[in-house]
Structure 1
Amino acid sequence: MKYALVLILVVAFLALETTAAKKKVRRLKWKPRPTEAVAPPEDDANTNEVEDDNIKMMDQDEDFAKQQELLRENERAREEAPTDPEMFNMVQLPDVCAEVICGAGRVCVPNAENVGVCECISECPVETEARRKVCSNHNETWTSDCAIYQHRCWCDTGDLRCKSETYKHVHVEYYGECRDMPECSEGEMADFPRRMRDWLFNIMRDLADRDELPAYYRRLEAEAETNMTKRWANAAVWKWCDLDGQPHDRSVSRHELFPIRAPLMSLEHCIAPFLNGCDEDSNHRITLKEWAKCLELAEEDIDEKCEGIDADADAV
C-alpha cells in the first residue's frame, strides 16, 4: 500500500513536469506578428510652405497676364494712332545730310547753322579679325580700311593726330597684313599694259553677259565686240569712268584705284608699280589721258564717254 502511494505521487509529478515543459516550448515558438509602418503625420510648417509657394505662383501668373494684356493694348494703340505729323501739329525737319556726299573717312553731320557738313569719322569699328587688316602704301599694317581713311582725313583737316604731311595721301594698298612682295621685272612691266587691257575688256564683257552693266556701258561693250579698234579703248574708258567716284571730277585719285589694286595685289605683283607709273605728274590723280597713255592706247581713241559726267560738271 505504501509503495503504491509513492508510485502514484511520482507519476503525478512527471505529468505536471511534462505539461509545464510543453507550455514553455509554446512560449518560445510564438513570435509577434509584424505591424505595418504608419507614416508620421506631416509637419504643419511644411504644409504652410507649400501653400505659400502656390500663392506666389498664382500671383506671378496674374502679373504676367497683366503685362501681356498691357503689351497688347500698347500695340493696338500704335496701330490705331494717326501717322500724319499734322495730326500732332509736328513740323517735319528736312534731312540736311540727304544730298551731301562725303568721301572715305568722313561722315555728314549738321553744324551749328543746321547745315550738313562732312567731318572726319569720330570712331572706327573695333576689328579683331586678321582678315580685316589692310596694308597701306607706306607698307604699314592697319586694323581696317576705316582707320586709314580716318587718318588721312585728320591730315587733310590739320588735326594734331596726323602723323605727318605724307599721310595726306595714305591709301589702302591691298588686303591683309603687309608682306614682302616680289619685284616686278622689266620684262613683266613691259607686258603688263597688254595684260591689263585684256583683263579690263574681259571684266566688262562678263558684266554685260550677267546683265550687271548699266545700259549706257552695255552699248560700249557691244560696240567693242564688233569693232576691234574700240575693243580696248571702250573697256579703258568704262573702267576709268567707273573708278571716278562721287563727286565726278574727271580724275581718279589714288584711293579710288583701290577696287582694282587691292584685289589683284596677291595675284599681280606688278599692279602697284604699274598704277604708280600712271600718275605722270605725281599729283596723286590720274586723268583719262594719263590712263590711256599708261595702257598704251592712242589718245585720239579715248573719248570722255562717262555717263552723266558732263551733266555733273555743268551743275557745279
Structure 2
Amino acid sequence: MKLLLLLLAGLLCTMQVFADDLDEFNLDDLIEEDFDESAEELLRQFEQKNSNKDLERENEIAAQLAAEAIDQQNHILNPVVEIDPCEKMHCGAGRVCQVHGTEAKCVCIPECPEEPEARRHVCTNRNETWLSDCAVYRQRCLCATNAPGCLNPENSHVHIDYYGPCHEHKTCSEEDMKDFPRRMRDWLFNVMRDLAERDELTEHYMQMELEAETNMTRRWANAAVWKWCDLDGDTDRSVSRHELFPIRAPLVSLEQCIAPFLESCDSNKDHRITLIEWGACLELDETDLNERCDDIHRSTPQLLG
C-alpha cells in the first residue's frame, strides 16, 4: 500500500504531463484507512515545493514588469531630444537659418513667394514698388553680403516706407511741418492711453501712463519716452530707420509730413535716433526726458494703430 501511495504522489506532481492517465484512477478508492501520516507528509512536501516554485515564478514576472514600467517612466520623464542648432538662432528679416554640419548659420532667403496681389506690394524709401516685403528684405541681405543677385549696392540700406504700390506724395507745407510736432505729441499720448485702457501695456508702462494722466508736465514726455523705448526693438538705446517702420508705415499715406518729420529727427544723419534727438524733434525739453525703458522682453511689440 505504501508503494502505491508513493506512486500516486509522483503522479500528482506531474499531473499536467500525464493528465489523461490520471483520469483513469479514482483517488477515493486508493486513499483508504491505511493512508498513514508519513505518506500524507510526503504529499504535503510535494505540494509545498510546487507552491514555492509557482511563487518564485510569479515574483520573477512581477519584478520584470516593474523594471519595464520604471524604464518606460524614465523614458517619458527624460526623453532623448535632439537639439536643433537653429532653434535659438535669430536671423532677422531677409535671412533664414541653415545648418552646415553641426554649425548653424544665417543666410539670405533663397527665394520669396510670388505675390501677384497689389495689396501685398510695398513701397520703399526710394519710392520704388516691390512685389513683397520679403523681396525687399532679401535684397537688403544680398547687397549687405555682396552676394550675387544684388541689384544695387545702395539697396543694403533700403527699407519699407509703407504697404501698397508707391503713390505720389502730397507736399508737406511749411505751416503743416511747423505744427506737426504738437500733433505728433498728442497722437502718441492718445495711443498710449488707448493701449492702457485695453490693458495692453506692461505694468511698467501702465505706471508711466498713469503718471502722465495725473501730471500734466509728464504727459507728452512720458508718451514720447514710451514710444521711443517701444520702437527700440533690439534695446541698443537707439532707433534705426528700420525700427521706425511700425510708426511710419500706417501714417505715411495719411500724414504727408511724417516722412520729413522722422528724417529731421536724425539730426546727425547716422541712421539712428537717440532719445535726445527724438525729444528734440518733438520739441520737448531735454531735462524732461528720462530713459525709463522697460527691459522686460516683449514677445509681441506694440504697434501704433
1:177 is displaced (CA, Å) by 0.7
1:193 aligns with 2:156: no
Number of residue pairs matched by the alignment:
226
The code of the aligned residue for 2:215 comes to N
User: For residues 146-295 of structure 1, what are the structure 2 equivalents within 5 Å?
Assistant: 146-245=134-233, 247-295=234-282
1:272-316 Cα shifts (integer Å, max 9, x gaps)? 111111111212111111111111111111122111179xxxxxx
1:237-274 Cα shifts (integer Å, max 9, x gaps)? 111111111x3211111111111111111110110111
Structure 2, gaps ≥5 residues long:
1-70, 298-305
Question: Residue 107 of structure 1 contacts residue 118 of structure 1 at CA under 8 Å; is this kept in 2?
Answer: yes
**Sequence identity (%):** 61
Q: CA separation in 1, counterparts of 2:242 and 2:215?
A: 33
Q: CA separation in 2, counterparts of 1:254 and 1:260?
A: 10
Closer, same or farther: CA 231–139 of 1 in aligned 2, 3 Å: same
Q: Which has the larger radius of gyration?
A: 1
Q: CA separation in 2, counterparts of 1:216 and 1:111?
A: 42
For normalisation by structure 2, the TM-score amounts to 0.69
| RMSD over equivalenced CA pairs, Å | 2.2
Structure 1, gaps ≥5 residues long:
1-81, 311-316
Question: Residue 97 of structure 1 contacts residue 110 of structure 1 at CA under 8 Å; is this kept in 2?
Answer: yes
1:136 is displaced (CA, Å) by 0.5
Give every structure 1 segment of 4 or more consecutive aligned residues whose post-TM-superposition deviation is greater than 4 Å. Answer: 82-87
1:104 aligns with 2:104: no
Partner residue in 1 for 2:30: none
1:165 is displaced (CA, Å) by 2.6
Partner residue in 1 for 2:118: 130
1:91 is displaced (CA, Å) by 4.5
Closer, same or farther: CA 223–154 of 1 in aligned 2, 3 Å: same
1:306 aligns with 2:290: no
For normalisation by structure 1, the TM-score amounts to 0.67
Question: Residue 201 of structure 1 contacts residue 231 of structure 1 at CA under 8 Å; is this kept in 2?
Answer: yes
1:163 is displaced (CA, Å) by 2.1
The code of the aligned residue for 1:216 comes to H
Partner residue in 1 for 2:23: none
The code of the aligned residue for 1:190 comes to K
Partner residue in 1 for 2:82: 93
1:145 aligns with 2:133: yes
1:29-70 Cα shifts (integer Å, max 9, x gaps)? xxxxxxxxxxxxxxxxxxxxxxxxxxxxxxxxxxxxxxxxxx
1:10-33 Cα shifts (integer Å, max 9, x gaps)? xxxxxxxxxxxxxxxxxxxxxxxx
Question: Residue 85 of structure 1 contacts residue 91 of structure 1 at CA under 8 Å; is this kept in 2?
Answer: no
1:111 is displaced (CA, Å) by 3.2
1:188-217 Cα shifts (integer Å, max 9, x gaps)? 111111111110000000000011111111
Question: Residue 85 of structure 1 contacts residue 92 of structure 1 at CA under 8 Å; is this kept in 2?
Answer: no
1:153-208 Cα shifts (integer Å, max 9, x gaps)? 11111113222232111011111111111111111111111111110000000000
Q: Secondary structure at the match of 2:162?
A: strand
The code of the aligned residue for 1:108 comes to C
1:101 is displaced (CA, Å) by 2.1
